[in-house]
Amino acid sequence: MPNTIILAEDEATLYLQATTMPVWAPCGQTPVVLVDAQRDKVSFYGTLNLSTGRETVTEATKMDTEHTAEHLEQILAAYPDCPILLLWDRAPWHGGEAVHNVLDENPRLEVMRFPVAAPDLNPQEHVWKATRRAASHNHTLRRLPELADRFRKHLTGHTFKSSLLDHYGFNAIRPMFA
């Protein structure tokens, strides 16, 4: 259908433990990265609109069928009046009764799965990489809620360009179906 919204979805886990990346620093002033002995974490469901670059984000305590179903409901609410094609991987929490119920009750939401072991095909992976670089690499925050807030704000406050539709010729033929 010509007015179908095409989305790519994935999940990420954020720990207070800082991940690192190379940075410039004055000679003799080695940057200090804090170490957190705890393994507290927060999970994020992120869905990228491949046309607009906007994100739909759900924060969760863990990745499971129930939280996945909640995120699907959030996607449906964000795009209430149009068909949706959702591209996602084969994570175990993308199945189960709660997810199947949402899909069965909402026939305008269609799912297409990426091939096995092909994260490089999912544009949402690039969003995670950009957001980690901007919000969580080399951070010095001491509280996970502050880091999660920074992460979420970056996701919702930026647009993320994807070339997936162009790469496979979709945007070239889409006008024929309008």
Ordered domains of the chain (ranges, CATH):
5-18+39-172 (3.30.420.10)
The structure's pTM equals 0.85
Rounded Cα distance, 110 and 144, in Å? 35
Rounded Cα distance, 71 and 152, in Å? 14
Q: Between 131 and 18, name the one with better pLDDT.
A: 131
CA distances from 143 to 16, 20, 118, 149, 151 (A): 7, 17, 33, 10, 13
> Which residue shows structure tokens 């759900």?
58
Q: Between 89 and 170, name the one with better pLDDT.
A: 89
Q: Using the predicted structure, report yes or no on whether residue 171 has a pLDDT greater than 80.
A: no
Mean pLDDT of the 65-74 span: 98
Can you read off the two tokens belonging to residue 141? 């925050």
> What is the tens place of the pLDDT at every residue in 82-141?
999 999 999 999 999 999 999 999 999 999 999 888 888 899 999 999 999 998 877 777
